[in-house]
C-alpha cells in the first residue's frame, strides 16, 4: 500500500491491484532507433554511463548511436496489429519503452528534440499504441527510465535541471495519452543524493493524474510490485511481483537471436503464476516496425494453449502446492490446478493439504489416479496419455484459504 497523498486501506489497495493480479500475463516491448543496428537498447551506446556503477561501454560510438533516429522510418508499424498479437497471445496488458537509458523519447515530448516525431517517421508511436490499447481493452503501461545518458544534465552538478525534465516528461506521459494503467520505472539507482525528494514528487504527481495507476519498484520508492529480471521469482503470495523476461536473448531486436521454445515459454508462464507472480514477456520489434514473424508465431502458439487452458492461469493464485522440479500449481476458490511439467517415473508425491479432495480429473481427458492421506497427496498419470503439460484438476470440499498456503 503505497499511496503517498494519504494512507491507502488494504481494501482500496487490493481493489486497485485486482485487475493486474488476475491478468497474470503481459507483453513487454523494447524498441527504438537502435533496432537499425540490432544491438541492445541503451547499453550498446558508447560513452560514459553516468549514474550507474556498470563497467565498460557500448560498441556503437555516441555520434553514431545518437543519430540513428535520423534514419529511423518504421513504415510497417501498425499499433492495431501489435495489440491484436498481444491479445491473441493471451496477454492482458502491454508495457512499452517510452524512453530507455539512451534518452530517446518514443513519444512527442515537448521537452526535447531527441524524439520519434523528429525522425523520418514523424508519428507519435505512444499515441497510436495508447489508442489501440484503449480500443481493444488491453491494459496500457509505460516503461520510463529515470537514467538518461543523452541528457547533458543527468548525474552532473546540474542534475536538478534534469529532475525538472524528468518530472515534466512523466507529466506528459500521464496527461496526453488517456488512461494509463502502469508506469514501469527502470534505473533510478544512481547516487540518491542526486535525486532528493524527486521519487516522492514523481509518485505523488503520477497518482494525482492517474489515481488507479500501478507503479513498480524501480523509481526510488517501493512501489506496488517487485520485478525479478530474467529469472522466475521465488514463491511469494504475501506481496505482488512480476518476472520480466525476454522471448529471445536480447531485449531489443537482434537478427537471428536465439528464441525460447514453446515448451520453455509455457513452462516459464506456469512456474511464474504457480509462484503467485505475473509474467511480463518481452519482444523486440524490427526496424521496419513489424514484430518478427517467428516471434509472432511463438506467441500465437502460447495463445492457443491459453485459449484451452487459460482457466488454470487467469484469475488464479499460486499454490496450494509450492513449485518444484515436478511443476507448479495454481488455485481458484475450491479448485486446484496441478501443472505437471516433468512427469515422474511412478507417482508424484506432494505435501498434504487441509482440505479434502472430493474429485479429480485430467484436463486432457486421460486417466489420473489421486489419493490423499494425512501425510501426502499422491498423483499418478498414465505415462502413455501425457500431454506436454498435464493439468490435474482437484476439486476440494472448501476453498484454499490464505492461511493454508
CATH number of the domain at 363, please. Answer: 2.60.40.1180
Whole-prediction pTM: 0.95
Q: Are the beta carbons of 158 and 50 closer than 8 angstroms? A: no
Q: Do residues 44 and 14 share a domain?
A: yes
Residue 402 confidence (pLDDT): 47
Distance CA 242, CA 229 (A): 9
Q: Is residue 3, in this structure, part of any structural domain at all?
A: no
Distance CA 120, CA 29 (A): 21
Q: Is residue 83, in this structure, part of any structural domain at all?
A: yes
Residue 387 confidence (pLDDT): 65
Burial of 324 (0-12, 13-18, 19+ CB in 10 A): middle
Q: Is residue 5, in this structure, part of any structural domain at all?
A: no
Q: Is residue 1, in this structure, part of any structural domain at all?
A: no
Residue 36: closest CA among 225, 252, 235? 252
Q: Do residues 342 and 285 share a domain?
A: no
CATH of the domain at 180: 3.20.20.80
Q: Do residues 286 and 143 share a domain?
A: yes
- Count how many domains the chain has: 2
Q: Do residues 287 and 335 share a domain?
A: no
Helices (H), 89-197: 125-136, 159-175, 192-195
Q: Is residue 268, in this structure, part of any structural domain at all?
A: yes
Residue 1 confidence (pLDDT): 44
Domain boundary among 312, 327, 350: 312
Residue 192 confidence (pLDDT): 66
DSSP, collapsed to helix, strand or coil, labels residue 109 as: coil
pLDDT < 70: residue spans in the chain: 1-6, 189-192, 383-387, 402-405
Residue 94 confidence (pLDDT): 98
Domain boundary among 312, 327, 361: 312
Burial of 85 (0-12, 13-18, 19+ CB in 10 A): buried
Residue 327 confidence (pLDDT): 95
Q: Do residues 290 and 323 share a domain?
A: no
Residue 403 confidence (pLDDT): 42
Domain boundary among 264, 288, 312: 312
Q: Do residues 295 and 359 share a domain?
A: no
Give residue 344's domain range.
Answer: 319-404
Q: Do residues 282 and 346 share a domain?
A: no
Amino acid at each position: 500500500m503505497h499511496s503517498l497523498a494519504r494512507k491507502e486501506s488494504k481494501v482500496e489497495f487490493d481493489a486497485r491491484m485486482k485487475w493486474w493480479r488476475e491478468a497474470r500475463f503481459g507483453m513487454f516491448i523494447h524498441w527504438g532507433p537502435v533496432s537499425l543496428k540490432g544491438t541492445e537498447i541503451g547499453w550498446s551506446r558508447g560513452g560514459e554511463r553516468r549514474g550507474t556503477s556498470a563497467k565498460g561501454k557500448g560498441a556503437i560510438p555516441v555520434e553514431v548511436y545518437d543519430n540513428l533516429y535520423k534514419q529511423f522510418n518504421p513504415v510497417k508499424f501498425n499499433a492495431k496489429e501489435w495489440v491484436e498479437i498481444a491479445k491473441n497471445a493471451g496477454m492482458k496488458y502491454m508495457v512499452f519503452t517510452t524512453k530507455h537509458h539512451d534518452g530517446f523519447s518514443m513519444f512527442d515530448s515537448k521537452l526535447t528534440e531527441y524524439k520519434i516525431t523528429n525522425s523520418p517517421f514523424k508519428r507519435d508511436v505512444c499515441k497510436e499504441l495508447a489508442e489501440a490499447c484503449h480500443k481493444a481493452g488491453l491494459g496500457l503501461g509505460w516503461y520510463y527510465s529515470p537514467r538518461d545518458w543523452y541528457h547533458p544534465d543527468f548525474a552532473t552538478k546540474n542534475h536538478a535541471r534534469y529532475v525538472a525534465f524528468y518530472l515534466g516528461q512523466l507529466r506528459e506521459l500521464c496527461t496526453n495519452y488517456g488512461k494509463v494503467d502502469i508506469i514501469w520505472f527502470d534505473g533510478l539507482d544512481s547516487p540518491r543524493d542526486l535525486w532528493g525528494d524527486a521519487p516522492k514528487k514523481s509518485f505523488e504527481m503520477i497518482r494525482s493524474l492517474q489515481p488507479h495507476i500501478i507503479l513498480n519498484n524501480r523509481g526510488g520508492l517501493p512501489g506496488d510490485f517487485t520485478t525479478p529480471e530474467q529469472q522466475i521469482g521465488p514463491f511469494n503470495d504475501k506481496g505482488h511481483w512480476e518476472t520480466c523476461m525476454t522471448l529471445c536473448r536480447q531485449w531489443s531486436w537482434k537478427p537471428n537471436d536465439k528464441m525460447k521454445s514453446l515448451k520453455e515459454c509455457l513452462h516459464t508462464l506456469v512456474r511464474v503464476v504457480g509462484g503467485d507472480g505475473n509474467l511480463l514477456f518481452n519482444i523486440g520489434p524490427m526496424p521496419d516496425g513489424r514484430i518478427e514473424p517467428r516471434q509472432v508465431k511463438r506467441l500465437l502458439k502460447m495463445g492457443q494453449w491459453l485459449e484451452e487452458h487459460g482457466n488454470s492461469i487467469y484469475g488464479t493464485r499460486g499454490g496450494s502446492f509450492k513449485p518444484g522440479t515436478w511443476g507448479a500449481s495454481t488455485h481458484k476458490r475450491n479448485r486446484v490446478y496441478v501443472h505437471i511439467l516433468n512427469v515422474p517415473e511412478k507417482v508424484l508425491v506432494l505435501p498434504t493439504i487441509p482440505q479434502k479432495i472430493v474429485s479429480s480429473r485430467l484436463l486432457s481427458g486421460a486417466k489420473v489416479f489421486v489419493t490423499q492421506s494425512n501425510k501426502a497427496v499422491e498423483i499418478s498419470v498414465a505415462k502413455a496419455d501425457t500431454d506436454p503439460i498435464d493439468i490435474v484438476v482437484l476439486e476440494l470440499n472448501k476453498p484454499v484459504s490464505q492461511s493454508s498456503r
